Amino acid sequence: MKDYELPLDIEEVAFSHIPVLSREVVEGLAVLPNGHYLDATVGGGGHSRLILESAPDVRLTAVDQDEDALAAAKKELAVFEKRVQFIHGNFAVCEFPQNTFNGILADLGVSSHHLDTPERGFSFRREARLDMRMDRRQSLTAADVINDWDEVELANIFFKYGEERLSRRIARRIVEKRPFQTTTELATAIASSVPAKYRHGRIHPATRVFQALRIAVNDELKVLETFITKAPNALVPGGRIAIISFHSLEDRIVKHGLRDSPLLNVLTKKPITAQEEEITNNPRARSAKLRIAERKRLATLY
Ligand SMILES: C[S@@+](CC[C@H](N)C(=O)[O-])C[C@H]1O[C@@H](n2cnc3c(N)ncnc32)[C@H](O)[C@@H]1O
């Protein structure tokens, strides 16, 4: 079988301890001694560690909706003891205290832990039940979406969240062939539903559908919108928010959300992207876009 190029935001390393755009994040947040920071996507704790190390007596609140990530972060950050507080939850649902944080970071997407653990069902390369939940307390799984949603709904999410041009054709084939139990059964059906030239293209033909499914299962775009609306209130005046996104759908929400917030001044006219050297060491950095904004100092809120 052809060794397909791996899709950027699905298959590449994410939960490694090589945090993406780390220098740019730490500089962009302008971390202060005694500052209190929120890492809304602590993952393996890579960025959090850097924030905690970049000034004396920094405190950090670390959030992740995946309990495995949180367990890994607890180990990674144990040395900071009581300076770190952990919260298991979705960043869109957490009620963050107002006027509290000197900086907030969100490094969006899945972790390599998700991808490297076949039973989580994120990867079409490994046989597993169709799951894809970042938070396993939630009931909706990828199997529910694939087996229960109607053809039009499936075509719509493949098109909207996967930017898949063959969305209708793939949705029709899935509906004909379902139910599906596993990631690999689904990937094979998708591959067989597309023209041969697509099957031998640069990326595996299931790439976009898997991205779309993941976004749908975790409602990723909606939670990002909610987070960007709520998070600025949690900053102190002059506090900064930094968000790293990995595909254009997310970046659009970040760009508009920061710009349209009455509480924020955007500091990055254009998104910050990784230097060649970082991309060589960490291929996931290739698609990363970092945008930063600062809470207005004068309370011109209304
Ligand atoms: C790319 S990883 C973060 C890596 C981290 N910055 C590091 O340096 O190790 C993204 C993490 O965000 C978590 N996540 C994604 N969406 C979330 C949400 N809505 N609420 C809370 N955590 C979320 C995922 O579970 C994953 O662990």
pLDDT at res. 299: 56
Q: pLDDT band at residue 39, thresholds of 50, 70 and 90? A: very high
- Give the pTM: 0.91
E strand intervals along the chain:
36-39, 59-64, 84-88, 101-107, 235-245, 264-266, 289-295
Measuring from each residue's beta carbon to the nearest atom of ligand 1, which residues come in under 6 Å? 14-15, 19, 41, 43-47, 63-66, 69, 90-92, 107, 109, 111, 134, 223
Q: pLDDT band at residue 2, thresholds of 50, 70 and 90? A: very low
Q: 51-86 pLDDT, tens per residue?
A: 999 999 999 999 999 999 999 999 999 999 999 999
Strand 59-64 relative to strand 36-39, pairing:
parallel
Q: Say whether pLDDT at 294 is over 80.
A: yes
Q: pLDDT band at residue 198, thresholds of 50, 70 and 90? A: confident
For atom 15 of ligand 1, the residue with the nearest CA is 109
Q: How far is the CA of 108 from the centre of ligand 1 (A)?
A: 6
| Rg, C-alpha atoms of the chain | 20
Q: Say whether pLDDT at 3 is over 60.
A: no
pLDDT at res. 116: 78
Instruction: Please state, rounded to an integer, the average pLDDT across all residues of the chain.
Output: 91
Mean pLDDT of all residues in 213-237:
98
Q: Domains, the chain, ranges and CATH?
A: 22-107+221-295 (3.40.50.150), 120-218 (1.10.150.170)
Task: Specify the ligand 1 atom closest to the Cα of 224.
Answer: 19
Least confident range of 22-31, 157-166, 197-206, 226-235: 197-206
Would the annotation count 45 as a binding residue? yes
**Contact assessment for residue 271 and residue 251, using Cβ atoms and an 8 Å cutoff:** yes
Mean pLDDT of all residues in 36-44:
96
